[in-house]
Amino acid sequence: MKTSHITVLLNEAIEYLKVEKNCWYVDTTFGGGGHTEQILKRGGKVIAFDFDQNAIKAGEERFKNEIESNQLVLVNKNFTELEETLNSLKKEHSIDEISGILFDFGTSTDQLMNTDRGFSFLGEGELDMRMDQTLGVKAKDLLTLLSEKQLMEIFFQHGGESEAKKIAKAIVSNRKNGVYIKTNKDLAQLVESVKKSRNKTHPATKVFQALRIVVNDELNNIETSLPQAFNSLKKGGRLITISFHEGEDRIAKTTFKTWQEENLATLITKKPVVPTDEAIKENPRCRSAKMRIIEKT
C-alpha cells in the first residue's frame, strides 16, 4: 500500500542523525516510513515502532526485503514501551548499541485522510481518533461522557481554543435533548454553528486536535518515553524530536534543557530547526514543525 504522507524535515533529520553504515537507529514513529526509508538508504539499520496496526501492516508489505535481511525490525507497540522492547530486541538480533533515535510526533496523512477514522473534518465517519485501534476510548465517547467543565478544559488546554466554553456548553445542552455527536461531521457542524471567530483554518481544527491528543494520551506518552530513549542511546548518539504544537514541543524543550544543565547531553542547535519556506509551500501541513536535537555525552 502506498503512503500519502509527506515526511516533514526529512533531509534535516537524516543529516542530524549522522547515519552510519550498519549502525542501528530507532524510528519511534514509523508512520508512512519516510524517515526509516532514508536511514536504510544510507546503510543504517532500523528498529521502527508504530502503535497503529495499519501503519505496521503497510510497512511490512513495503519493506518486505529489508525485514527479511534483518535491516529493519517493525514493532507494533506504543513507544512508551521503548526501553523494555529495545532491551529484548537487542538480545534477539545481537544489536550492540543504538546510535540515534527519532520521534516525529502526531498523526500521519494516511491517518488524517482515512475518513472512517474520524481524525479530520473531511468526509463522514465515526468520530473515533484512536491511532492504536486497541485503545478503549474513542473521541465520541469523551463527548458523550465528560462534563461540560472537563470538555472545556480539554479544548482549551490541548487545542488553545478560545471559544472552548461555548463549544462545551453546546455539546452538553444537545446531550440533554438526546442529541449526541457520533461522527466527525456532527462535531465539525456543531463547532461551525457555535464559533464566532473565523480565520483561514477550519473552525473545528483546534477542537479536533485537542480530542486526538487526549484519546491517544499523546503528551503523557512523550513524557514517559523521552527518558527511556535517552537511556537506550549510546554515548555520542543523537535524539531528535519533531513536534507540531506547543504542548509537544514544550516537553522536548524542557527535558533537553534539563539534560544539558546536568551535563548529560549537549544541545546541537540552540533554536529549533524549522521547515524552509519552500517546504511549507509544498506541504502546508508542516508549517508548525519544530525539530530539536540533543547528543548524549
Judged by CB under 6 A, the chain residues 147 through 206 that form the site for ligand SAM are: none
C-alpha cell, 66: 529489508
Counting every residue written for the chain, the total comes to 297
Instruction: Provide the minimum distance between the beta carbon of 123 and ligand SAM in the complex, in angstroms, as a whole number.
Output: 19
Residue 208 is a binding residue for ligand SAM (CB under 6 A): no
Stretch touching ligand SAM by CB under 6 A, among 104-112, 139-147, 175-183, 231-239: 104-112
Least distance between ligand SAM and beta carbon 152 (Å): 25
**Which one of residues 16, 24, 74, 78 is an interface residue with ligand SAM (CB under 6 A)?**
78
> Which part of the chain contacts ligand SAM (CB under 6 A), choosing from 25-33, 60-68, 162-170, 183-191?
25-33
H or E segment and range at residue 51: none
Phi, psi of 283 (to 5 degrees): -140, 85
Confirm if 29 and 105 have CB atoms less than 8 A apart. yes
For ligand SAM, give the closer residue by CB, 24 or 119: 119
Distant-in-sequence, close-in-space partners of 144: CB < 8 Å, separation ≥ 6: 175, 180, 181
Q: How many CB atoms lie within 10 A of CB 88?
A: 9
SS3 breakdown of the chain: % helix, strand, coil, rounded to 5?
A: 50, 15, 35
CB nearer to ligand SAM: pick between 5 and 206:
5
* Contact positions with ligand SAM (CB under 6 A) in 233-292: none
Options 104, 161, 163, 186; binder of ligand SAM; rule CB under 6 A: 104
Stretch that binds ligand SAM, among 46-54, 139-147, 188-196, 273-281 (CB under 6 A): 46-54
Stretch that binds ligand SAM, among 43-51, 170-178, 256-264, 279-287 (CB under 6 A): 43-51
Query: Which stretch in 26-34, 189-197, 231-239, 272-280 sits in contact with ligand SAM by CB under 6 A?
Result: 26-34
Cβ at position 229, least distance to ligand SAM in Å: 12
Specify the residue, 108 or 241, whose C-beta has the smaller distance to ligand SAM.
108
Least CB distance from residue 126 to ligand SAM, whole Å? 18
Separation in Å, CA 215 to CA 67, 122, 151, 237 = 31, 19, 12, 32
128 in contact with ligand SAM (CB under 6 A): no
189 has which bridge partners?
Answer: none
Half-sphere exposure of 128 (CA within 13 A, CB side): 17
Q: Partners of 243 in the beta sheet?
A: 290
- Spell out the alpha helix ranges (H) of 146-217: 148-159, 164-176, 184-194, 205-215
What the block records as the C-alpha cell of 28 is 519511534
Contact between 63 and ligand SAM by CB under 6 A: the answer reads: no
Is residue 131 at the binding interface for ligand SAM, with CB under 6 A as the rule?
Answer: yes
Interaxial angle between packed helices 205-215 and 184-194, expressed in degrees from 0 to 180 and rounded to the nearest 10: 130
Binding site for ligand SAM (CB under 6 A): 5, 7, 29, 31-35, 49-52, 55, 78-79, 104, 106-108, 131, 221
